[in-house]
Amino acid sequence: MTPKETRISDLIIPAFWDAFNDTTHTHKILTSGRAGTKTSEAAIEAVYKLVSLPECSEVVIRKRHNKLRKTVYKEIKRAIKRLGIPESKFKITVSPMEITYKPNGNTIYFTGSDSIDDTKGIIDESKPIKLVLLDEVSEFFTDGEGEDELQNIEATFIRGNAEGFQMLYLFNPPKNPNAPVMTWLGKMQKRPDVLHVHVDYRDVPVGWLGAKLVEAAEILKSIDERQWRWLWLGLCIGVDEVIYYMFGGKNVHRTDEEAFPLIGIGVDYGQQNATTYQAAGLNMSRHKIEGLQEYYHSGRDTGTQKSPSEYAKDFVEFTDELHEKYSCSSFYVYIDPSAKGLAEEIKRATRSCDYAVLLRDADNDVALGISRVQKLLTFGMLSVDPSQEKAVEEFGLYEYDKKSIEKGREVPVKTNDHCMDAIRYLVMGLWSKVKRYLPVQDDEKEDGEA
């Protein structure tokens, strides 16, 4: 590092200065709400150590390997530029994913932790590992072995590297204060070898974030302060038993549009339980998904069971009516992945339709789907027609199991959920079409695209 290069204090917020300079704590935990710049701090720290220490290897880990390249790997490459170091001084490869500083041979290794033993082979015999950076720590608890996995990673890399060895953990706290990652954080905070720093976007200069982003945060604060405290401040606000508590009058109205070039339909299928089709038009001019119509039949409630072929016949009548009413030529149908028989019957029944019907297996990521529906409801970007009576009813009844909340894992109760499943499938399918209109675009995985 030369004196002419940018000062570190110009690149990270003051709230992180002590953490950056800290060499006494083995464990450093950085948490924040959205736009807290903790990943930026961690990347700058990783690059700074890589070029400054004579003997230093580093390991960067995410729970899933396929998430590395677009997240922390990209951020570390950005940190190199921000520090004013010529990229030519580095050997940067994707397969294997490594970044080596040529003047001293120090290397950052990137890996996933798809199983608890995945990281055991990444030990640099020639240079001691000085930093292990764990990004999105909460994923190790939701998708992995949690505390056991983190301890296994520590044991793997601290061996023979005790002097100057540090682990740096990053995550956004979940809503639920009982979540396993929060229990782990509480235990870690009691240890003398742990430094924990929590920040939020208000600790970051507006010029760094941009006025638009700050405005988006303030918009959410005015609409739903509770959600703002979690998303932007990174506070555990607790989990409502009613999942879609934000659903209200603004989300129930009849569309003014006379035509929709694209209509999405979410399909939830049951043999004895209800089968429902929930249809919505993609309103690109108003940046909304507008509910149009529903079909609902419960064999248990009516005493009349229907076969897949009968449901397929009803489906064609359903789309015929929508086609006639809204001049729609393309229907994107997101169907319960377990309903293969119904999907085949619908495919067969719609072959002769004078409009296109594209069937796709719905993305059944429940937690992500619920989160996306909540976002659209909060910002008034998802509505249902008053005629969708079953959907309106279920929005008010759909709940998390209380015992699951107490255990730190939110599991929806499997009642009053057929319309909710269908609408979730629909939102997941059309997400790529509407997410760009959210006040702040998400950087979550982009699944279920139309």
> So what's the pLDDT on residue 450?
43
- Which pLDDT tens digit goes with each residue over 237-286? 998 899 999 998 899 999 999 999 999 999 999 887 899 999 999 999 99
Average pLDDT of span 209-233: 93
Last residue of a domain, one of 211, 233, 268: 211
> So what's the pLDDT on residue 300?
81
Q: Find the CATH number of the domain harbouring 37.
A: 3.40.50.300
> Which residues are paired to 28 by β-bridges?
168, 195
On whether residue 407 sits in a domain, the answer given is yes
Average pLDDT of span 415-434: 96
Average pLDDT of span 38-67: 93
Q: How many CA atoms lie within 13 A of 339 on its CB side?
A: 32
Highest mean pLDDT among 154-163, 302-311, 423-432: 423-432
Do 16 and 141 belong together in one domain?
yes
- Which pLDDT tens digit goes with each residue over 131-142? 999 999 999 998
In angstroms, the Cα distances linking 125 to 57, 81, 101, 159 are 10, 29, 17, 11
Average pLDDT of span 303-311: 92
Do 188 and 314 belong together in one domain?
no
Last residue of a domain, one of 211, 235, 261: 211
Do 190 and 278 belong together in one domain?
no
In angstroms, the Cα distances linking 322 to 278, 284, 293, 325, 334 are 12, 18, 8, 5, 16
Residue 448 banded pLDDT, cuts 50, 70, 90: very low
Is pLDDT above 70 for 58? yes
Q: Find the CATH number of the domain harbouring 280.
A: 3.30.420.280
On whether residue 280 sits in a domain, the answer given is yes
On whether residue 102 sits in a domain, the answer given is yes
Residue 68 banded pLDDT, cuts 50, 70, 90: confident
On whether residue 126 sits in a domain, the answer given is yes
Question: Could you tell me the residue range of the domain that residue 141 belongs to?
Answer: 8-211
> So what's the pLDDT on residue 445?
41
Average pLDDT of span 403-429: 94
Is pLDDT above 60 for 44? yes
Do 201 and 267 belong together in one domain?
no
User: How far is residue 290's CA from residue 229's CA, in Å, rounded to a whole number?
Assistant: 28
Do 350 and 278 belong together in one domain?
yes
What is the reported pTM? 0.81
On whether residue 234 sits in a domain, the answer given is no
Percent of all residues in the chain with a pLDDT value above 90, rounded to a whole number: 80
- Which pLDDT tens digit goes with each residue over 409-420? 899 999 889 999
> So what's the pLDDT on residue 219?
93
On whether residue 222 sits in a domain, the answer given is no
Do 194 and 289 belong together in one domain?
no
Do 254 and 201 belong together in one domain?
no
Average pLDDT of span 99-124: 79
On whether residue 3 sits in a domain, the answer given is no
The pLDDT mean for the chain works out to 91
Is pLDDT above 50 for 22? yes
Do 95 and 174 belong together in one domain?
yes
Q: How many CB atoms lie within 10 A of CB 269?
A: 22
> So what's the pLDDT on residue 5?
54
Average pLDDT of span 96-124: 81
In angstroms, the Cα distances linking 343 to 347, 361, 450 are 6, 9, 17
Do 263 and 159 belong together in one domain?
no
In angstroms, the Cα distances linking 336 to 54, 82, 421 are 56, 46, 8
Do 184 and 257 belong together in one domain?
no
- φ/ψ of 204, rounded to 5, equals -105, 135
Counted domains in the chain: 2
> So what's the pLDDT on residue 120?
59
Last residue of a domain, one of 158, 189, 211: 211
Q: Lowest mean pLDDT of 3-7, 183-187, 318-322, 419-423, name the range.
A: 3-7
Spatial contact of 11 and 82, defined as CB atoms under 8 Å apart: yes
> So what's the pLDDT on residue 2?
43
On whether residue 233 sits in a domain, the answer given is no
Do 65 and 168 belong together in one domain?
yes
Do 203 and 352 belong together in one domain?
no
User: How far is residue 181's CA from residue 45's CA, in Å, rounded to a whole number?
Assistant: 24
Average pLDDT of span 333-340: 94
Percent of all residues in the chain with a pLDDT value above 70, rounded to a whole number: 93
